[in-house]
Amino acid sequence: MADPSELGIAALTAAFTKGSLDPVAATESCLARIAAQDAHLRSFITVAAEGARREAERSRRRWAAGTPLGPLDGVPLAVKDNIDAAGLPCTAGTAAFATHMPAADAPVVACLRRAGAVLLGKLNMHEGALGATTDNAVYGRCMNPLKPGYTPGGSSGGSAAAVAARLCAAALGTDTMGSVRVPAAYCGVYGFKPTNGAIATDGVVPLSTTLDCVGPLARSAADLAVVARALLVDMPRTFIAMPAHDTLAGVRVGVPRQLEEIDLCVAVGAGFAGVLDRLRAAGAIVVPVDLPAWQPGPARRAGLLVCEAEAADYYGARLGPGLAGVSDTFASMLRYAERAGLSRVVAAYRTIEQVRAACFRAFAAVDALVLPTTPQPSFPHGAAAPASQADCTALANFARAPAVSLPIAADPLPVGVQLMAAPGDDLRLLALASLVDRAVEPLRAAAATRSEADASP
């Protein structure tokens, strides 16, 4: 059998069911891989080895008795370090909270424990979740496993890096303007942002209470859906999923005209064009849609200002006006909203509401929107971070809509495509993402062939 750490959720569950593998062995394999690789990757802040071993042993007994709790029972997972897990530090990536030790699990962690998942530990992140490189001066510069010296993205960079490096089968991150989907795209994995409010954010150190979401990252669309369904189990009754598609034939997919305002790098532009060709070949109806209130750059800046204003309230209340313990960079960002003035903050909220209304109208005419996840692939640590990283992803947060990022190519670095559906349509979107994933598989295969050819002597 392959190294258990190489197995995703579906493969692990199949092996547990057959008895060819048990959760203890799977957990030990991941812990060994963490020990061997993470000193370089810096994807973990805290490794909970002993707790994970205890949870794995309990899971082993359930599988041996034929009473597993479900498809996540015994699966090794990890969570971003702004999500509370009882008895483990929750730093939010800042020295200010280095000694914060929650007494209780956040609801999302409690949900995973009820499903029998094994918690390996807490994952690195951009300080305060306000940034997209996970270049963390306190807990380590997190590396993209696919390219030495490159960023995994952020702010859930440790989550994406750990999944891509096979240190865990899946992970949780948080997403405020793309912080699950940006690192998913940079690291060639899958990421899901739910409808705002569909998955509880209690027990999460907030960046923006208006925009924050918790979402999973995984190695396949199927695995992503398994974790997402476990977290959506308590989805409020107001969120009613539409029937799932079983084919792309006749599915109406909208391409926002405003993408013309975003400077896409060559690899992203070519990959996105290839996706649209594959969708049409599968029978989808690809149509342009207009989101007149959405100007990607100005809207992203409005969202950032809202984040800075709401984060300033949270951190100021806990750390005082001096913001003791946070970095100078983070402190400057937290103070920016005050410098900007109330009128600009109010205008930023108005911009978000206008974008949300435009998306609501668009979803009346299409089943989903499709757009690149990021305008660029990963870039080296130390290089200037592109301001446009969240130009495409922030749209879903403004719309309060579910979104999925899928890898579409890796030549030489991954790029991603993003699907968005109407708020509440989370489960249908996950099913649609699986269909799209199958449709774009030839793009990934072609990119892999080119990479192998380039690597040949």
What DSSP string runs through 51-81?
Answer: HHHHHHHHHHHHHHHT---STTTT-EEEEET
Contact at 8 Å (CB) between 191 and 414?
no
Q: Which residues of 190-208 are buried (b: 16+ CB within 10 A; e: fewer)?
A: bbbbbbbebbbbebbbbbb
Residues 6+ apart with CB under 8 A from 8: 169, 170, 218, 219, 220, 222, 223
In whole angstroms, give the CA distance from residue 172 to residue 159.
7
Which DSSP string corresponds to 10-54? HHHHHHHHHTSS-HHHHHHHHHHHHHHHHHHH--EEEE-HHHHHH
User: CATH 3.90.1300.10: which residues of the chain?
Assistant: 4-234, 252-428
Of 29, 179, 378, 405, which one is the catalytic site residue?
179
pLDDT beneath 50: ranges in the chain: 237-242
CATH code 3.40.50.300 for 252-428: no
pLDDT given for residue 240 in this prediction: 42
Contact at 8 Å (CB) between 121 and 48?
yes
At 222-276, the pLDDT tens digits run 999 999 999 997 655 444 444 566 899 999 999 999 999 999 999 999 999 999 9
User: Pairing between strand 170-175 and 213-218?
Assistant: antiparallel
Residue found under tokens 């974008």: 355
pLDDT given for residue 2 in this prediction: 78
pLDDT given for residue 100 in this prediction: 97
pLDDT given for residue 452 in this prediction: 61
Q: Domain 4-234 is classified in which CATH homologous superfamily? A: Amidase signature (AS) domain (3.90.1300.10)
Structure pTM?
Answer: 0.96
For residue 4, give both structure tokens: 């258990």
Residue 434: active-site member: no
* DSSP secondary structure letter of residue 413: S
In whole angstroms, give the CA distance from residue 187 to residue 271.
16
* Residue 287, CA distances (Å) to 88, 111, 366 in order: 48, 39, 8
Of 155, 220, 327, 378, which one is the catalytic site residue?
155
